[in-house]
Structure 1
Amino acid sequence: MARVGKVAYRLELLEELRQIHDTFHVSQLWKCIADKIAVVPLKDIQVDYRQNYIEKHVAVLDRRVKTLRNKVVSLVKVKWQYQKGLEWMWEPESKMSRHYPDLFLEDEFKGKV
């Protein structure tokens, strides 16, 4: 890492990451303590056409209903493959079923049995 200005640094990135902009403002950087378990192999990471990281979902772990002032929201607890920190997150069921219908296929079969 090399200092470019008072508030910017240029990172030394691997050759596989050459498409990523290498200069960052100090507010975007934080100390990283390496954890061998948390390392994700670069070959497993998928990036879309805008260079955004694509997370993979694994399963719906649980469901709950949250009551707000004026509406009721159905939530699902989704397990993500490479999520840092907690490996699961509560997401709105409507959004998840729209974007990831394959997560809800077994629900369709439960109703038919």
Structure 2
Amino acid sequence: MSSEEVAFYEKEKERLVKEISKVVEEIALTINNINRSQEGTVTLARDKVTGEMNMWKHLRDLGEAKAKDRADELLASSGPHTEAFSASAGSNRALSSSTSGDATPRAQS
């Protein structure tokens, strides 16, 4: 091999090494960008789920409070047999929720 050929191959080798290095740097940059994007997506998803869980808990608590207030209203307006109704309401709730799936208290007739 002549010195001109060796010089040509050395230059070509350097050019290819630079090109490969450039591609590797671009790949590393792309991977870093993807990782940052995924972290942002995970953070947004986590925040969304946390917000939805908090909303669900709030609505559940609100529903329980409203149901309790309504039960108290019914007990207060039921007249002189309030204590008897109050005592039987718990068993009626358990019975009605286990048989019909409806947890509303029912007075015994």
- Could you say whether these structures have the same fold, taking a TM-score greater than 0.5 normalized by the shorter chain as the test? no
TM value normalised by structure 2: 0.19
User: Counting strand residues as a fraction of each chain, which structure ranks higher?
Assistant: 1
**Which of the pair has the greater relative contact order for Cα pairs under 8 Å at 6+ separation?**
1
Normalising by structure 1, what TM-score? 0.19
More helix by share: 2
Instruction: Select the structure of larger CA radius of gyration.
Output: 2
